Structure 1
Amino acid sequence: MKTLLLIEDEQSFADILLRRLSHYGYRCLHGMSNEQGLALAQEHQPTHMILDLKVGSENSLVILPQLRALLPQSRIILLTGYASIATAVEAIKLGADDYLSKPVDTKTLLAMLVGETKDMEVSDTNIMSPSRLEWEHIQQVLKSNDGNISVTARQLGMHRRTLQRKLLKKPTSE
């Protein structure tokens, strides 16, 4: 039987994803933290794993080498709302088989889980525009600073009012 371990701290997203995947024959397990995920991996030996990049205040890249060493034949996919080339390269180097940005459709996720990425077409809808990437990055830094505009602006190297104007704009759907 195919066993899937999801390490994800957002319960509502995890519930939706696990419900979807269980319909496709996966026995699903859910860890809310890196520690819980490692414990579940050791106990249940999953055949597939999906890791959120940001799990609470932790980064799941730190447990990738441990998971790969523990389960070398398992398929590991890193899933993130803050996709970047740098983290994608690092994730692959540390042992991930694939890297996807949220939101992800079921068809793409299932193809990644079985390793059928060679035949997949890259569509324009899967590529984020520069303005969308900027918005995602600003949101990530703002979240890490608990919503503090002044600290976030300093970290991003911009004036506080410039950041406030950028936050007022709706993110593009591109």
Structure 2
Amino acid sequence: METTNHPRADAPRTLLLVDDDEPFRERLARAMEKRGFDVTTAGNLNDAQTLAREVRPTYAVLDLRLADGSGLDIVAVLRETRPDCRIVMLTAYGNIATAVAAVKAGAVDYLSKPADADAVEAALMHMGGDSALPPPPSDPMPADRVRWEHIQRVFEQCGRNVSETARRLKMHRRTLQRILAKHAPRG
């Protein structure tokens, strides 16, 4: 069973680009336009879902973590309106749990930010059957990073429900919220 869909060769190269970091979004949009894509941009979840229904893009590049939600919530709309849409998730919070969640939701690739336009185009146009997950790290992660990764994995398994995640991790809900609001520890 082939799980990776490809737009027809004669399909327009329409691209929905969703990121709440405006300078990054605009810079990537210009670079993708130079590569022949007709780019539509959005900076939040609501606008992105509306544009996904209106534009029905053949390609999408989605930021995983938006100020008002998750890029994973846009994937369902894209799959509903255009099942062959090629979706790439971008995130500054890269970890294996969210990569797996993105691929299960329907993304064909997962790139860490800041990704350049060449990497984004390569991921969008990759026609192999396998989606690319991040390679395993060559150096072991520090303990605080391992802890953060574990919390993120449980958070994704709980459907991003803070209360349920806090119960499973046996920690106070507010403590968990503070941890989730922070960037990943360097490592």
Structure 1 and Structure 2 fold alike (TM over 0.5): yes
Closer, same or farther in 2 for the Cα pair 1:38/1:154, shift >3 Å? closer
Closer, same or farther in 2 for the Cα pair 1:128/1:27, shift >3 Å? farther
Are the aligned partners of 2:52 and 2:77 in contact in 1 as well (CA < 8 Å)? Answer: no
Residue 47 of structure 1: which of 58, 75, 83 is its match?
Answer: 58
Residue equivalent to 1:69: 80
Closer, same or farther in 2 for the Cα pair 1:81/1:128, shift >3 Å? farther
Closer, same or farther in 2 for the Cα pair 1:128/1:11, shift >3 Å? farther
- Normalized against structure 2, the TM-score is what? 0.65
- 1:154 deviates by 4.3
Higher helix share: 1
What's the Cα RMSD here? Answer: 3.7
Q: Percent identity?
A: 32
Residue 22 of structure 2: which of 11, 27, 32 is its match?
Answer: 11
Residue equivalent to 2:89: 78
Residue equivalent to 2:67: 56
**Structure 1 unaligned residues grouped into runs of 5+:** 142-150, 159-166
Are the aligned partners of 2:28 and 2:116 in contact in 1 as well (CA < 8 Å)? Answer: no
The count of residues paired between Structure 1 and Structure 2 equals: 148
- 1:107 deviates by 2.3
- 1:73 deviates by 0.9
Q: Quick one: which amino acid aligns to residue 50 of structure 2?
A: A
Measure the CA separation in 2 of the matches of 1:123 and 1:46.
Answer: 25
**Structure 2 unaligned residues grouped into runs of 5+:** 1-11, 153-171, 180-184
Q: Quick one: which amino acid aligns to residue 93 of structure 1?
A: K
Measure the CA separation in 2 of the matches of 1:123 and 1:69.
Answer: 27
Alignment partner of 2:27: what SS? Answer: helix
Higher relative contact order (CA 8 A, sep 6+): 2
Residue 112 of structure 1: which of 123, 147, 171 is its match?
Answer: 123
Determine if the alignment matches structure 1 residue 92 to structure 2 residue 103.
Answer: yes
Closer, same or farther in 2 for the Cα pair 1:122/1:107, shift >3 Å? farther
- 1:122 deviates by 9.8
- Normalized against structure 1, the TM-score is what? 0.69
Residue equivalent to 2:161: none
Closer, same or farther in 2 for the Cα pair 1:48/1:12, shift >3 Å? same
- 1:57 deviates by 3.4
